[in-house]
Structure 1
Amino acid sequence: MAAAEVKSYREKLEKYLYEKNAFTDLLAKAEAKTGVKRVYIVYVLLTILCLYLAIGYGAGFLCNLIGFVYPAYASVKAIESERKEDDTQWLTYWVVYSVFGLAEFWFDILLFWIPFYYLLKCLFLLYCMAPGSYNGSEMIYQRIIRPFVLRHQDKVDRFIDQAGKRAKEALDTAEGAAGQFAADAVSKSLKGE
């Protein structure tokens, strides 16, 4: 990464840290009490977070919390907004998050052996929720998930239709059996058995 890129990211971070929101209000209070610039406070907090994700107890919970809480909040805000773009952004995130979660479930026994797995997972999830052109979810969706789904969409739709029909048949059969059981029970009750 070039020095100019690092400087650009740092300037964007510092600009964000002086915008008006609840997080920057807390930073302003911490800055006033400690006399330490808020950018350094954020660097220390990020370092502690990274160390905790690398070696801390409960790192999996913290990682999943980071990957879930903010995206859930942003999704609610997107639903309430009039813009369609933010809805698409967060729907895309949840599709990628779901595929990742499914893959993680199947490969869990192997992932245990990857050093600093939760730190890497957290960085991946942050990449997936990044704003603008750096959004990993959009890239993963467009290059991997979308082509796969489009290639297999007809098969999946047929499977879902068949599963729905079988579920309805099973429900009808169970409903008929329950009705027959109830009728038999009432009949036996009336006969005094």
Structure 2
Amino acid sequence: MGKLIFIVSQLHKLAGPCLTLLYPLYASVMALESTTKKDDEQWLSYWILYSFITLVEMVIDPALELFPIWYDVKLVIMAWLVLPKFKGAAFLYKRFVREQMKKYRGKTTHFMGKNKH
């Protein structure tokens, strides 16, 4: 029984990197090689969100230690972002990130326009 628990715990440790890095890397390369732009949006969105989540984790790491299930919660969130059935990354990008970028881009374009004159 001890060996089974060990194997399951090791698989659990591998699930994160496989789900958050290996599969997205493979899918990103395949998206670049495809002729359609639709899959590019999903994977660019994923890498933007993955970077953001990683940065936030770095900043609030001490607080995350208080939540021992964070790794499991993150794994579920990342699965939703990654899996083609859900396309969570593209959804979040369209719904939230794009709107913020439009606001920011409008301000910087206006600001930069004033400096040109």
Q: TM-score range by the shorter chain?
A: 0.7 to 0.9
Deviations 1:51-98 (A, max 9, x none): 964xxxxx4x75244201100011001111112111111111111111
TM-score between both structures, scaled by the size of structure 1: 0.47
Rate the CA distance shift 1:135–1:69 in 2: closer, same or farther, 3 A: same
Matched to 1:95, the amino acid is I
Asked if structure 2 preserves the Cα contact closer than 8 Å seen for 1:63 and 1:122, the reply is yes
CA distance in 1, matches of 2:57, 2:31: 27
2:94 aligned with 1:142: yes
2:86 aligned with 1:126: no
Other structure's SS at 2:67 match: coil
Matched to 1:119, the amino acid is D
* Unaligned ranges ≥5, structure 1: 1-47, 54-58, 160-193
Alignment map for 1:23-172 (pairs within 5 Å): 48=8, 53=12, 59=13, 63-132=16-85, 134-155=86-107
Runs ≥4 in structure 1, deviation > 3 angstroms? 154-159
User: Looking at CA atoms only, which structure, 1 or 2, has the larger radius of gyration?
Assistant: 1
Rate the CA distance shift 1:91–1:77 in 2: closer, same or farther, 3 A: same
CA distance in 2, matches of 1:103, 1:89: 21
- Please report the RMSD computed on the Cα atoms of aligned residues, expressed in angstroms: 2.8
Matched to 2:80, the amino acid is Y
Deviations 1:105-125 (A, max 9, x none): 221111121122111111111
* Unaligned ranges ≥5, structure 2: 1-7, 113-117
Asked if structure 1 preserves the Cα contact closer than 8 Å seen for 2:80 and 2:87, the reply is yes
Asked if structure 1 preserves the Cα contact closer than 8 Å seen for 2:41 and 2:90, the reply is no
**Identity of aligned pairs, percent?**
31
